[in-house]
């Protein structure tokens, strides 16, 4: 999961009202119905943002290539544009002559793509919001990381995900200054996510019976619902919240996580808790069968990032069980197909065969009757 790599020097921006940002110069006309430009908007997090904007009564415009789920949101305005790491190959002609009260960039980690579009929109929008990632932080040894924690540096070249997000933050800060909100979600899941991690657990547990629960149950997992990310972005626009915010879900013990998954499936699954050492004896790379679980050898601070700054603004989060239920619904709508690394398919990324699971449970119980 790419969000486990991290980077960036945090720049916390001072909060200020939208009126003071314009310095007396009106760059765009006011409107009783706010105009929102969403870049992308048709994949996973994007639709959650669009839906939150529509619920808030905004006039939403999408800017994208028109290739990913082009039939989504037929009742909103669609503009076509093309982003590229080659600035000469980018096309934003349909933005010409247009202005918006706010714009949200939810997708890229490539700083060139982020930078070029941001500069194009600098004089076209009042409030700019960039969806970054908690992946920008430098260290996760201690729990409770806040927005002011040290972040990794970018050294040029082709950036990985974390480096790219970090450098992208720096560039939009330079472009928009105090008109900018940077939102750093932790690992995102929810409706429309084609990732296999949570889906694997839900589909496994809905069969009922005995299932292996790895470790001690005290390990941590932290997930934010895509709908919560969308609502927080709109919340920031509504309240003129500027600066950097972590958008993180509740930090759950792995036991609480599995119990919530079981509840979402409505199954009678019974968990057999088996220690890491024993599981490793059965398979040296056993972790691949248990997504989202991480042993204490992995910095647990990664799963305990503070979202207090965002929560103190009045934002609220959905219970994790609702996120799990949404993911299960998405799985069922897709005819029970789990994704592979290359996209949707009829099997898990690396399934734990039922007969293999039964065998391991029997071995464990024979030693611990």
Q: What is the pLDDT of residues 248-291, one digit of tens each?
A: 999 999 999 999 999 999 999 999 999 999 999 999 889 999 99
- Band of pLDDT at residue 237, cut at 50, 70 and 90: very high
| Confidence class for position 339, pLDDT limits 50, 70, 90 | low
> pTM of the prediction?
0.88
Range ranked top by mean pLDDT from 62-71, 157-166, 310-319? 310-319
Mean pLDDT, range 93-112, rounded to an integer: 94
Residue 222's pLDDT is what? Answer: 97
Q: Is the pLDDT of residue 130 over 70?
A: yes
State residue 26's pLDDT score: 39
Q: Is the pLDDT of residue 296 over 80?
A: no
Residue 156 has a pLDDT of 82
Q: What is the pLDDT of residue 300?
A: 86
Instruction: Look at residue 227 and tell me whether its pLDDT is greater than 90.
Output: yes
User: Which distant-in-sequence residues (6+ apart) come within 8 Å of 257 by Cβ?
Assistant: 221, 292, 320
pLDDT at 176 over 90: yes
Q: What is the mean pLDDT of the chain?
A: 88
pLDDT digits over 18-58, tens only? Answer: 333 333 333 444 457 899 999 999 999 999 999 999 999 99
For range 185-206, the mean pLDDT:
93
CA distances from 312 to 14, 92, 109, 144, 339 (A): 16, 37, 28, 15, 37
Select the more confidently predicted residue: 124 or 298: 124
Under 8 Å CB-to-CB from 244, ≥6 apart: which residues? 10, 11, 12, 13, 147, 181, 182, 184
CA 296 to chain centre: 23
pLDDT band at 343 (very low <50, low <70, confident <90, very high): very low
Q: Distance between CA 13 and CA 127 in Å, rounded?
A: 13
Instruction: Kindly report, residue by residue over 15-28, the tens digit of the pLDDT.
Output: 333 333 333 333 44
Q: Which of 60-74, 132-146, 341-355 has the lowest mean pLDDT?
A: 341-355
> What pLDDT score does 194 carry?
87
Q: What separation in angstroms does the CA of 228 have from each of 12, 70, 248, 249?
A: 22, 24, 9, 9
Domains of the chain: 2-190+224-247 (3.40.50.720), 197-222+251-304+320-367 (3.90.25.10)
Task: Identify the residue whose tokens are 């970018």.
Answer: 154
Cβ atoms of 105 and 131 within 8 Å: the answer is yes
Q: Which of 218, 195, 214, 198 is nearest to 206 (CA)?
A: 198
What is the per-residue pLDDT for 309? 98
Does residue 348 have a pLDDT over 60?
Answer: no
């Amino acid at each position: 999961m790419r969000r486990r790599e991290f980077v960036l020097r945090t720049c916390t921006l001072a909060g200020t009202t939208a009126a003071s940002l314009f310095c007396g110069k009106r760059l765009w006309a006011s409107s009783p119905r706010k105009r929102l430009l969403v870049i992308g908007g048709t994949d996973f997090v994007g639709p959650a943002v669009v839906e939150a904007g529509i619920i808030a009564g905004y006039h939403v415009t999408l800017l994208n290539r028109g290739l990913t789920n082009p039939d989504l949101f037929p009742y909103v305005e669609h503009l076509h544009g093309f982003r590229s790491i080659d600035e000469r190959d980018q096309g934003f002609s349909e933005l010409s002559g247009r202005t918006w009260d706010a714009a949200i960039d939810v997708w890229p980690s490539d700083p060139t793509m982020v930078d070029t579009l941001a500069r194009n929109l600098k004089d076209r929008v009042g409030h700019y919001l960039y969806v970054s990632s908690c992946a920008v932080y430098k260290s996760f040894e201690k729990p409770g990381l806040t927005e002011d924690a040290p972040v990794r540096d970018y050294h040029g070249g082709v950036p990985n995900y974390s480096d790219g997000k970090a450098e992208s933050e720096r560039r939009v800060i330079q472009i928009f200054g105090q008109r900018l909100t940077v939102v750093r979600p932790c690992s995102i899941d929810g409706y429309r996510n084609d990732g296999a991690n949570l889906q694997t657990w839900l589909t496994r547990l809905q069969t009922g019976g005995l299932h292996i629960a790895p470790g001690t149950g005290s390990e941590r997992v932290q997930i934010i619902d895509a709908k919560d990310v969308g609502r927080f972005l709109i919340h920031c626009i509504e309240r003129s919240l500027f600066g950097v915010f972590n958008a993180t879900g509740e930090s759950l013990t792995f036991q609480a996580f599995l119990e919530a998954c079981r509840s979402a499936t409505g199954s009678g699954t019974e968990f057999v808790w088996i220690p890491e050492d024993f599981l490793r004896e059965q398979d040296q790379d056993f972790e691949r069968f248990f997504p989202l679980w991480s042993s204490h050898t992995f910095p647990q601070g990664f799963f305990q990032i503070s979202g207090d700054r965002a929560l103190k603004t009045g934002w609220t989060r959905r219970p994790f069980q609702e996120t799990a239920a949404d993911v299960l619904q998405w799985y069922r709508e897709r005819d029970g197909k789990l994704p592979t690394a290359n996209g949707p398919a009829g099997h898990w990324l690396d399934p734990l065969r039922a007969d293999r699971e039964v065998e391991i449970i029997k071995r464990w119980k024979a030693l611990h009757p």
